[in-house]
Amino acid sequence: MDARDRLESALELAIASQTAECPPGLIAAMRYSIFPGGARLRPRLCMSVAWACGADDHRLTIGAAAAIELLHCASLVHDDLPAFDNADTRRGKPSVHRAFGEPLALLSGDALIVLAFDVLARAAAARPDRLADLVRIVAAATGAEGGICAGQAWECEPHIDVPRYHRAKTGALFSAATMAGAAAAGAPHAGWRQLGECLGEAYQIADDIRDVVCNPAELGKPVGKDAALMRPSACRELGVRGAIARLTGLVDAAVESIPACRRSGDLGALIRQEASHFLPQEVADLAA
């Protein structure tokens, strides 16, 4: 079974653990929020870092990756709600609140956050000494202190602190992915933050670019939202070509930041390959 299949199995298992005492509507909404997935970028990054660090506990590695993906899915469900983006579609299908109503969308986001921590605690059965770090890493990435909630909440402020906004809303979960990968492998995790930050910023810029230049069918969600919602965007700041150049620089910085570890070369190559898919080819060619 390859990494992607193992992750999907872990996500399936996490959902299956919730079915006995869960009302049918809620479990259906949770399942809909998770499957079929998007690129599963963050959990794959988490697993890649763990394996580069010589992961010795596959259950914990996959559990950490699954927890990160559950938190990502939760944030998408809540972001799409009418109180925020009011998005009708996501990943090419109706958003969760469009498909299941606002109450179940709200609850499925809440329940996915809780499930993420439950998954971590179950996965750490053989390595209880690694659990506290993992919990704190993913909590920091999602909560009010520089996590996804903080990022989203900057949109409610009269003056947005743009770098903080991006670091919190997008960067934090990428950093959590790299740090949790290291922590799951029992390696020191602080040195892995920068890799996540660079990739998070690169991904955010790619998202800004796609929001400007892609068509909605290709993207699976509405475009032009950033401009419509007056959100900060790298394209407005740097132009599309400038934004693409910045993205390229960040991927280089990401690869250079990889701490010494057993398979740092493999990891660098993998990251370049992944990042090459951040933008559709014809968009990347614009900068060539």
Closest CB to its own copies among 104 and 184?
Answer: 104
Q: Which residues contact 63 (CB under 8 A, 6 or more apart)?
A: 10, 119, 120, 122, 123, 124, 184
Closest separation in Å from C-beta 56 to its own copies: 18
Q: What are 57's two structure tokens?
A: 């506990």
Please report, as a single letter, which amino acid is at residue 164.
R
Closest CB to its own copies among 116 and 209?
Answer: 116
- CA-wise closest residue to 151 among 97, 241, 259, 71: 71
Closest separation in Å from C-beta 164 to its own copies: 7
Closest separation in Å from C-beta 62 to its own copies: 17
Closest separation in Å from C-beta 101 to its own copies: 7
Query: What does the alpha-carbon distance between residue 187 and residue 37 come to, in Å, rounded to a whole number?
Result: 29
> CA separation (Å) from 155 to 94, 128, 151, 158, 287?
24, 38, 7, 8, 30
Closest separation in Å from C-beta 187 to its own copies: 17
| Residues making contact with its own copies (CB under 8 A) | 17-27, 30, 74, 78, 81, 83-84, 101-104, 106-111, 113-115, 117-118, 120-122, 124-125, 128-129, 131-132, 135-136, 139-140, 142-147, 149-150, 152-157, 161, 164, 168
Closest separation in Å from C-beta 163 to its own copies: 11
Closest separation in Å from C-beta 190 to its own copies: 16
Query: What does the alpha-carbon distance between residue 107 and residue 85 come to, in Å, rounded to a whole number?
Result: 17
Closest CB to its own copies among 82 and 220?
Answer: 82
Residue 100 Cα to chain centre, angstroms? 23
Closest CB to its own copies among 146 and 268?
Answer: 146
Give the count of alpha carbons within 13 A of 160, CB side only. Answer: 19
Query: What does the alpha-carbon distance between residue 192 and residue 159 come to, in Å, rounded to a whole number?
Result: 31
Query: What does the alpha-carbon distance between residue 13 and residue 31 come to, in Å, rounded to a whole number?
Result: 11
In this structure, the number of other CB atoms found within 10 A of the CB of residue 163 comes to 11
Closest CB to its own copies among 15 and 46?
Answer: 15
Closest CB to its own copies among 19 and 276?
Answer: 19
